[in-house]
Amino acid sequence: MGDGLAIAGGGKTTVGTDHLFGTAQRLSVLGHEAETCLGSMASIDRYVETPALRAAGAPSAAFAAEQSLRDAAAVLMRALVGIGLLEGSLGIAAEADGFVDRATLRVGQELAARVAWAAGWALPGLLTLALPTVVGVAAAVMVGIALAPEAQRKAALARLPAALMTLEPVLSDPAFVTFVRFAIGSADDFEAGLAHLPPELSHLLGDEGLGVFGLVVATRVIVAIGQQGGELSETQVVTRPSGAERQGTVAEGWDDRASRIPEGQAQVRIDRYEVEGQQDRFEVYISGTRDFGLDADAQPFDMTSNLNGIGELSSGSERAVRQAMEQAGIQPDSPVLLTGHSQGGLVAARIAESGDYNVSGVYTLGAPASGVVVPASIPWIAVEHTDDLVPALSGHWASGDPVVVSRRAFDSPLPDTGFAFPAHRLDAYRETAMLIDGSSEARIAGAAAQFDTFAAPGSTVETRLYISERTAPIPSGVRP
C-alpha cells in the first residue's frame, strides 16, 4: 500500500503527516506527566529538607536520598525543557509545511492560470489555422463510423473499457492527478482568455470571485451541449424503500461508516436512532456513481447527475437522496449525519451546503466536492487519495475548509482490479478509513468525538435501504 496519512485544513494552517501530529501529541502528554512528577517531588522535598534531617539526627542515607531527589528533579526539569523545545519544533515544522504547501499551491495556481489564460486567448487563432485539418479528420472518422457494419461498431465500443485500462498507470499517477487538479482549477482563467478579457479580471470573475467564469460555468456548457445531442438531460426520479426495516447497530468509527455505504442495487441507506422521549436522529449513507454512460437511463446515480451536480444544477441523485430522507421521516430540524462515496459525497456536501436540514456532520470519500461550501460550523472529514483522479475533477479547495485527509493508496505496480481507477474504489478508501480510526490527531479526534456521540445512549437503530430510478423526462418549463 501507499503512504501514511497527511492532514490539512479544518481552520488550521498546519499541514503534516499523522505521524508528526501524533508524535507532537505524545510529547504533550509526556510533558504533562513530567510536570506532575516535578510537582510531587517538590512536595516531598518540602517535608524532608536538609535542616530538618539534621535536626532529627537522620542517618547519612537520608541525606543521600535527599540529594538524589534533587538530582532527579534537576534531570526531570532538563527533560521537560527538552520536551518543550522538541514539541515546539514539531509545531514549527507543521506550520512551515503548511506555509510551504500553501505557497507551492499558490505559485502553481498562478502559473497554471497564466498558461490557461494564454491558451484561451490563442485558441480561436489556432482553431482557424487547424480548422481544415480538424474538419477533414472529423469527417473521415464520422464517415468511417457510419459505413462500418453495426457489429464492428459494437465491438469497437466494447473494446473501450480495455483501452482505458491501458492508461491506468497514467490515470493513477499522483503527478497526473495533480496536473488535472491544476488544469480544472484554471478553467476560469481559460474562459477569461477565450473572451479576450484582461488577466486582472480573471480572479474577479472566476471561481473565487463573482463566479462568472470557472468550473461551474464550464460544466454547464458541457451539459447544454450534451442536451443538444440528446444526452445529459435530467428526468423525474422515483424513490422507494427496498425491503423491510430491520434492526441495526450504532455506527462506530470511520471504517464502520464507510462499510455502510450501499454497493448493491440500493443507492441510499438510512439509519434511524430512536430514544424514548427524544427527537429521532438519522445517519444517511450515499453510494457513488453506478452508471458511467452519458444518457439518462433508469439509474439516477450516473454521469448525468455527476455533471449536473458539479454544475450546481438539480441532479437526479440529489433528488433521490432527498426523497429517501423524506420517506424516512427526516424533518428540517432532525439531526442528520451524511456519509458518501464519490458522487454520494458530492450529494452529501450539496445537501449540507443547502441549509435545508439540520446537518451535524459530513464524511466524504473520494468526492469531487471541492467547490462546495459547507458551513464551517459543520464538521467535515474529506478523504482523498493522491492517486485518485475523481476528487481532482472538481479542482482545488477554494472556498470550503474541511479537514482533508489524504494518502497515496497504491504504489507501483497497481493491483489488478479490472477498474481503471483502483484508488477510487470504496474498498481502497475503507483501508484508509481504518488508518484514520487509529489516528489521534486533534482535528480528526475532535470530529470523531462529535460523530461517535451523535447517537444518544441507549438508542435503538432501525435501518432501511432505498432504491431510486429515473422515470419520465421533465416537462419543458418545469424546474426539476
pLDDT of residue 78: 73
In contact, 286 and 267? CB cutoff 8 Å: yes
Q: Which of 83, 106, 129 is the last residue of a domain?
A: 106
Task: Verify that 266 and 140 share a domain, yes or no.
Answer: no
pLDDT of residue 213: 59
Q: Which of 106, 135, 168 is the last residue of a domain?
A: 106
pLDDT of residue 98: 45
Task: Verify that 221 and 244 share a domain, yes or no.
Answer: no
For the chain, the domain total comes to: 3
pLDDT of residue 23: 63
Residue 376 sits in which domain range?
A: 236-473
In contact, 346 and 372? CB cutoff 8 Å: yes
Of the candidates 339, 380, 366, the residue with the CA atom closest to the CA atom of residue 426 = 366
Task: Verify that 370 and 444 share a domain, yes or no.
Answer: yes
Q: Output phi, psi for 257, to 5 deg.
A: -65, -40
pLDDT of residue 139: 57
pLDDT of residue 246: 94
Task: Verify that 211 and 242 share a domain, yes or no.
Answer: no
Asked if the structure places residue 426 within a domain, the reply is yes
Of the candidates 400, 386, 397, the residue with the CA atom closest to the CA atom of residue 428 = 386
Task: Verify that 74 and 183 share a domain, yes or no.
Answer: no
Q: Which of 79, 106, 133 is the last residue of a domain?
A: 106
Instruction: Name every residue whose Cβ is closer than 8 Å to that of residue 194 and which is 6 or more positions away in sequence.
Output: 120, 121, 123, 124
Asked if the structure places residue 411 within a domain, the reply is yes
Count of positions (residues) in the chain: 480
Task: Verify that 332 and 256 share a domain, yes or no.
Answer: yes
* Average pLDDT per block of 10 residues along the chain, 480 residues long: 75 59 61 71 64 60 63 69 61 52 54 56 54 55 60 60 68 87 73 63 58 71 78 90 92 97 95 94 97 79 92 94 98 97 98 97 96 93 95 82 91 75 94 93 92 92 96 68
Asked if the structure places residue 13 within a domain, the reply is no
